[in-house]
Structure 1
Amino acid sequence: MVARTLAAPVTIHGRGPAGLTAARLLSRSGFTCRLAGPASAGGPTTLLNPGTCRLLGELWGIALDALPSRYRLRYRAVHPPAPESPAVVEQHSLVVEGAALGGFLEQRLFTEYPNIEAVEEDADADGWHLLATGRALRDGALGTDIAVERVGRARCAAVEVQPSAGFSADRATFEAVPGGWLFLMPTGPKSAILQAQQDKPEPDTDLVIANLAQSKAVRPLVGNLTTTPRTFEAMPRLSRPRAGSGWLAVGDAAMALPPVTGDGVGNGLRTAILATAVLRALRRGEPESAVLAHYERRLEQAFDKMAQRTGHRSSGTDSQPNEVPYRLHGLDLVRTGA
């Protein structure tokens, strides 16, 4: 086991929003950072909910109108299971291309902090490591045995569609169908992405067709499917452990949220904030075991609340309190009662 020291650069494995945000916050805090792995390839087109939009703007000091390849939505139409009534709520959100968002943040980061070094994967570096992608976990970047808890077995299929004449380009539409849901997300005045989820253990590109056959609200809004559906896991996922001596998991490497929440990027940003606070606390001499236990517990609690909110869990976990409890104040962990 390589001894990790905060005197050496922090190596961040992954160059998505979580990893790039951690690099920016740590650099602002006086840490030397290295970005390991290939340049940001981004992810799929994604929805940023209002809270994520605000947080992204605050952490990066940007107006969201500066983001490339963005599309604004004003409403969300929700069609819950019967007998509940459908509703249209005002919810200002942004649809962004993952590659464009990652590239924009990466360019801004290197402009602000040109001394950040881009390196090949290097698990043997002496400093602390932040695992910021699920790929870093799968590749065993640090040789650490990390398990992934999956809550349920839901899978999602996504496909680009040409909307029909009844389509409203300023609103996303969610509809519950037997055993799953449909989510129609406009990406432009005459384009959209349709997501379909069912409780299935294996990939199934027929998910979209099967769910549309049961749809009353979304089906009239969809014209033609214009691409082949891609499938991916859609259940909540939590890594165990999420921290150890010399490393922290952030973003999707720590936990992944169901896509319909629109909070995947927001989750990554919040874990980057907490990871920065952990390293700042260690630098000022807080006990490593207590600080890492706090990090583990905070993410467990956040995951459990999300799983309850999305119906994946019915009750919370019984997390044990830290020996030295903390609260987050800005970018610092402060001892409770201090």
Structure 2
Amino acid sequence: MTLLQADVLIVGAGPAGATAALNLAGRHRVLLVDRLAAPLARIGESLPPAAARLLRDMDLLDAFLRQGHAPYHGNRAWWNGAWTEHHFLSDPDGHGWHLARGTFDLSLRDEARRRGAALLAPASVDTITPEYDGWRVRLQTRHGPCDAAARIVIDATGRGARLARRIGARRQRGDRLISVWQYGRDLAPSQRGFAHIEACEDGWWYSAPLPGQRRVLALHTDADLLAKTGLRDAGWLEAAARRLPATRELLEQQGYAADTPAMATPAHTASLDAGAGPGWFAVGDAALSFDPLSSQGIFNALYTGLAAAEAADRTLRGEPQACQHYNGELAAIGAAYERHLAYCYGQETRWPSAPFWRRRVPARLSSR
């Protein structure tokens, strides 16, 4: 049986895994594994202005700017019965971006390969076993099983954190949030560049422009609150959105018309009890999964991918404490995220007894 030798084996070639790979390639032997031959369509994500500094530090910014992502100038939210707006006009990094996710994800994969990482896709992990000074991993590929030996493994498998949990890490889930979303045509230019958010009794709605006169529309709610017939009705999501005053006005202004079926994606907050240990690291959603209200998911993928690459490099150079430093970074990020999320949800007070809001701000009821 073939034995693949690597210094670092990265499982998951999404933004976090590919970012780790492209930062380690050239200095170490990197094997990047993904269960998909090419990225799938995903809900449109955004990058805040600060992402420009990360992309520049990784020598990715110029290529990124040529990819045609849509400018992201700020947020407009109908929250607690009033409009709130946040603009990036005064941000020293300029505007952010609404991403064409397929283009973005594929570009990171390609850059990792260009810098010297080996990509094996489609392939999946069958077993992982600790060995002296590393790991032995059995992979299932289209050509059959093969083994890989690596000194370090990086889990970039997303919210499931499948590799870290096999190693012994425990996943802690904070809620049951899901995102139900679809794409459509966006024919008018009036609201381009701004994300739209509207709170409702069972959650909140999101819509944003995408490249190529496209728009994403999404409902965020808890899985047990979603109408069981909703996803079986092709027009349910758009019809429900048009019953809300602010979102209906936006869709009418934009000439929006859905042209894909609605899809559901997990969107819950979650974390590992430890995001790294001897010989392994978790990155992106595998390490910390964010509620999309934070608008930090892809930024976190880039940041943790880079941070884990730096920690893995230090580990390979004989600094075993690097994983503790990385865990400290994750803890600080998680604490700041929890404070910010609690503040944002706490600003909406119209439905204090509704299950969705009661679960997120329980102290509001108990203090009365």
Where on the TM-score scale, by shorter chain, does this alignment land: which range? 0.7 to 0.9
Q: Deviations over 1:125-183 (max 9, x none)?
A: 24211111227733x48832333222222222112234576952232212222342111
Instruction: Give the Cα–Cα distance (whole angstroms) in 2 for the partners of residues 10 and 161 of structure 1.
Output: 40
Match in the other structure for 1:246: 279
Instruction: Give the Cα–Cα distance (whole angstroms) in 1 for the partners of residues 344 and 167 of structure 2.
Output: 28
Instruction: Give the Cα–Cα distance (whole angstroms) in 1 for the partners of residues 249 and 22 of structure 2.
Output: 45
Aligned-partner residue type, residue 63 of structure 1? D
- Normalised to the residue count of structure 1, the TM-score between the two structures is 0.77
Q: Deviations over 1:232-277 (max 9, x none)?
A: 2222111233222221111111111122333212101111222123
Instruction: Give the Cα–Cα distance (whole angstroms) in 1 for the partners of residues 189 and 119 of structure 2.
Output: 48
Pair 276,87 (structure 1): closer, same or farther in 2 beyond 3 Å = closer
- State how 1:206-221 maps to structure 2 within 5 Å: 209-210=239-240, 212-213=242-243, 215-221=244-250
Contact between 2:164 and 2:282, CA under 8 Å: does it hold in 1?
A: no
Aligned-partner residue type, residue 302 of structure 1? I
Pair 275,153 (structure 1): closer, same or farther in 2 beyond 3 Å = same
Stretches of structure 2 lacking an aligned partner (at least 5 in a row): 90-94, 129-135, 137-148, 346-368
**Is 1:308 the counterpart of 2:339 in the alignment?**
yes
Contact between 1:36 and 1:121, CA under 8 Å: does it hold in 2?
A: yes
Instruction: Give the Cα–Cα distance (whole angstroms) in 1 for the partners of residues 6 and 63 of structure 2.
Output: 34
**Is 1:101 the counterpart of 2:104 in the alignment?**
yes
Instruction: Give the Cα–Cα distance (whole angstroms) in 2 for the partners of residues 166 and 64 of structure 1.
Output: 26
Instruction: Give the Cα–Cα distance (whole angstroms) in 2 for the partners of residues 142 and 173 of structure 1.
Output: 36
Match in the other structure for 1:147: 170
Aligned-partner residue type, residue 18 of structure 2? L
- State how 1:117-132 maps to structure 2 within 5 Å: 117-119=118-120, 120-121=123-124, 123=128, 124=136, 125-132=149-156
Stretches of structure 1 lacking an aligned partner (at least 5 in a row): 1-6, 315-338
**Is 1:291 the counterpart of 2:289 in the alignment?**
no
> Following TM superposition, by how much is the alpha carbon of 1:8 offset from its aligned partner in structure 2, in angstroms?
4.9
Aligned-partner residue type, residue 173 of structure 1? H
Match in the other structure for 1:33: 30
Aligned-partner residue type, residue 129 of structure 1? V
Contact between 1:42 and 1:103, CA under 8 Å: does it hold in 2?
A: no
Pair 53,158 (structure 1): closer, same or farther in 2 beyond 3 Å = farther
Contact between 1:72 and 1:95, CA under 8 Å: does it hold in 2?
A: yes
Pair 188,127 (structure 1): closer, same or farther in 2 beyond 3 Å = closer
Pair 197,212 (structure 1): closer, same or farther in 2 beyond 3 Å = farther
Contact between 1:182 and 1:194, CA under 8 Å: does it hold in 2?
A: yes
Contact between 1:165 and 1:221, CA under 8 Å: does it hold in 2?
A: no
Instruction: Give the Cα–Cα distance (whole angstroms) in 2 for the partners of residues 249 and 54 of structure 1.
Output: 22
Q: Deviations over 1:81-128 (max 9, x none)?
A: 13x543352462222222211222222332232xx3233546422421
Root-mean-square deviation (CA, aligned residues, Å) is: 3.0
Aligned-partner residue type, residue 307 of structure 2? L
Match in the other structure for 2:84: 86
Match in the other structure for 1:58: 57
- Normalised to the residue count of structure 2, the TM-score between the two structures is 0.71
SS of equivalent to 1:201: helix
Instruction: Give the Cα–Cα distance (whole angstroms) in 1 for the partners of residues 64 and 8 of structure 2.
Output: 31
**Aligned match for 1:11, one of 9, 13, 17:** 9
SS of equivalent to 1:76: strand
**Aligned match for 1:133, one of 134, 153, 157:** 157
Match in the other structure for 1:168: 191
- State how 1:318-329 maps to structure 2 within 5 Å: none
- After superposing on structure 2, the runs of 4+ consecutive aligned residues of structure 1 that deviate more than 6 Å are none
Match in the other structure for 1:318: none
Instruction: Give the Cα–Cα distance (whole angstroms) in 2 for the partners of residues 53 and 43 of structure 1.
Output: 23
Instruction: Give the Cα–Cα distance (whole angstroms) in 1 for the partners of residues 73 and 160 of structure 2.
Output: 36
Determine what percentage of the aligned residue pairs are the same residue. 23
Pair 293,313 (structure 1): closer, same or farther in 2 beyond 3 Å = farther
Match in the other structure for 1:267: 300
Q: Work out the number of aligned pairs and report it.
A: 300
Deviates more, 1:168-177 or 1:124-133: 168-177
